[in-house]
């Protein structure tokens, strides 16, 4: 419960239209793109870095937990206020502050939509590389918090590879700048540390992002298979031939049929799987690699190999991929997206295992994922109105993530740990490693009020770590 005195302080700082407190308004901020929910007690809308600092100081003064929020497109509960309290929403800090094409960089506020950066510079031949499927809605602050990826990270890397510097507000309200406008600055890489810290160590108020020049030629191909295992083997075959496409996406039969019915992108309705592969670079190299990819796909049993002939065909294929989650919503009232990572050589057996999990729990599980780097996104369809279905979906997801760990992979590739997977962290890491992660968290947030209950286990799993420090400064296992 928020004290009345805190509300007055927020009112004085932001004005009467600078916050929300009615239950019907707060309910809009109780969820993200995942399945967990919890409402904040107050939502504040800062316009400046100084506003953010002021809000943090107010929360600390009253001993209230606080959490930052961008567009709410996250998939692991990272922006859900697990303990209520104050939510700091960055929707009004949405300006591109500077574009410096000569030095290939831009400075943006955290509420800037990912795609808007590319739209602002594409006329000059530039783009911003990280491209999550939600790039038309997700914002840079959330991308930095989760170290967001996307289909093209196989060649370009994830968000941390494109952030040069940050302005952040620390948990005590202090405003600091880390990194800068040039790469490889001296000192500790605090920009790299905070990128991907899931909003548990600082709140981003400004980012210096790297811009890239558009390539000379882009080719997009669609390889069609009668077996999802054959599609999985193709990914390893492409890697073995020392070819690195900018994207290798896989859709299984269940998913591609949902996508095609929704978008009419040209995917075959009768296939077991497709690979969407994109190559770009110097014209001669790209054209040669297309033929090498064609050979790899044929060797692994592709029944058909299509090359998009026009930009319109290419855009349509990507429209199908980028709108896949919306296509699922036409078929199932609810779905649960997972985010495990396996080595590329384990993709085929992982798909087989996911099929076994679907049969075991009597659920439909479709697959769409970044096959090039083994980042799996099994989508578990269920109806929460039916008793037990939510529990079955969660259990199926846990089985899949445990499989990923056993394969030498990870419980997350780009969605983050949040409040969805934090109990699995005890399987992913040793107690000593978790202790070190906790020490870093408390170094930045000594009172554990910034986005509490995230990333580290909270005690409901096999390892208990209380994130609030004891009076001695020690922690309890």
Q: pLDDT, tens digit, for every residue of 404-421?
A: 999 999 999 999 999 999
Which pLDDT belongs to residue 464?
40
Burial class (CB in 10 A: 0-12, 13-18, 19+), 319: middle
269: tokens are 């309705």
Q: Are residues 222 and 306 in the same domain?
A: yes
For residue 123, the domain's CATH number is 3.30.465.10
Angle between helices 347-361 and 389-406 (to 10 degrees): 160
Q: Are strands 86-89 and 66-69 parallel, antiparallel or unpaired?
A: parallel
**What does the alpha-carbon distance between residue 89 and residue 413 come to, in Å, rounded to a whole number?**
25
For residue 62, the domain's CATH number is 3.30.43.10
In the DSSP assignment, the letter for residue 297 is: H
In a domain, 263, yes or no: yes
Q: Are residues 320 and 380 in the same domain?
A: no
Please compute Rg for the chain using Cα positions: 23
For residue 397, the domain's CATH number is 3.30.1360
SS3 305: strand
- CA nearest neighbour of 337 among 257, 280, 255: 255
Task: Flag whether pLDDT at 179 surpasses 60.
Answer: yes
Q: Are residues 270 and 188 in the same domain?
A: no
In this structure, the chain runs to a length of: 477
What is the number of domains present in the chain?
A: 5
Residue entry with tokens 């870093």: 440
Q: Are residues 227 and 203 in the same domain?
A: no
Contact 79, 92 (CB under 8 A): no
Task: Flag whether pLDDT at 463 surpasses 50.
Answer: no
In a domain, 422, yes or no: no
Q: Are residues 288 and 198 in the same domain?
A: no
In a domain, 425, yes or no: no
Q: Are residues 112 and 206 in the same domain?
A: yes
Domain boundaries, position 452: 430-477
pTM confidence score: 0.93
CB proximity list for 431: less than 8 A, separation 6 or greater: 463, 477
pLDDT digits (tens, 9 = 90+) for 56-100: 999 999 999 999 999 999 999 999 999 999 999 999 999 999 999
Contact 76, 88 (CB under 8 A): no
Continuous segment of H or E residues that includes residue 54: helix 49-61
SS3 308: coil
SS3 154: helix
Residue entry with tokens 């193709």: 234
């Amino acid at each position: 419960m928020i004290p009345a005195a805190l509300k007055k302080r927020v009112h004085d700082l932001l004005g009467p239209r600078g916050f929300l407190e009615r239950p019907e308004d707060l309910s809009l901020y109780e969820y993200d793109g995942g399945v967990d929910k919890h409402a904040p007690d107050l939502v504040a809308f800062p316009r400046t870095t100084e506003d953010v600092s002021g809000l943090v100081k107010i929360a600390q003064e009253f001993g209230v937990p606080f959490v930052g929020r961008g567009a709410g497109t996250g998939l692991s509960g990272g922006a859900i206020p697990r303990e209520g309290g104050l939510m700091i929403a960055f929707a009004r800090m949405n300006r591109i502050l500077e574009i410096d094409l000569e030095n290939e960089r831009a400075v943006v506020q955290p509420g800037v939509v990912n795609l808007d950066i590319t739209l602002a510079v594409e006329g000059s031949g530039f783009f911003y590389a990280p491209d999550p499927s939600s790039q038309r809605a997700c914002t840079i602050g959330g991308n930095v918090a989760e170290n967001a990826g996307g289909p093209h990270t196989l060649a370009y890397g994830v968000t941390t590879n494109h952030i040069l510097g940050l302005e952040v507000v620390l948990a005590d309200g202090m405003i600091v700048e880390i990194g800068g406008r040039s790469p490889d600055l001296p000192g500790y890489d605090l920009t790299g540390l905070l990128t991907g810290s899931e909003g548990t160590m600082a709140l981003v108020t400004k980012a210096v992002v790297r811009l890239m020049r558009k390539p000379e030629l882009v080719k997009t191909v669609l390889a069609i298979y009668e077996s999802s295992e054959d599609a999985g083997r193709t990914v390893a075959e492409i890697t073995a031939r020392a070819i690195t496409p900018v994207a290798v996406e896989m859709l299984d039969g269940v998913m591609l049929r949902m996508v095609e019915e929704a978008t009419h992108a040209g995917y075959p309705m009768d296939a077991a799987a497709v690979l969407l592969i994109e190559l770009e670079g110097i014209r001669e190299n790209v054209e040669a690699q297309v033929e090498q990819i064609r050979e790899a796909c044929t060797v692994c049993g592709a029944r058909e190999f299509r090359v998009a002939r026009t930009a319109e065909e290419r855009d349509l294929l990507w429209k199908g991929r980028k709108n896949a989650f919306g296509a699922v919503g036409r078929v199932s009232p609810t779905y649960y997206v997972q985010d495990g990572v396996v080595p590329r050589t384990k993709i085929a057996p992982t798909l087989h295992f996911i099929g076994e999990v679907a049969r075991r729990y009597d659920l439909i599980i479709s697959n769409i994922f970044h096959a090039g780097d083994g980042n799996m996104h099994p989508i578990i369809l269920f109806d929460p109105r039916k008793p037990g279905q939510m529990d079955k979906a969660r259990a199926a997801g846990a089985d899949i993530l445990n499989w990923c760990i056993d394969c030498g992979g990870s419980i997350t590739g780009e969605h983050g740990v949040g409040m969805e997977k934090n109990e699995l962290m005890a399987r992913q890491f040793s107690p000593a490693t978790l202790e070190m992660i906790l020490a870093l968290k408390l170094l930045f947030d000594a009172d554990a009020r910034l986005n509490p209950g995230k990333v580290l286990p909270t005690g409901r799993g096999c390892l208990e770590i209380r994130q609030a420090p004891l009076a001695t400064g020690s922690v309890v296992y």
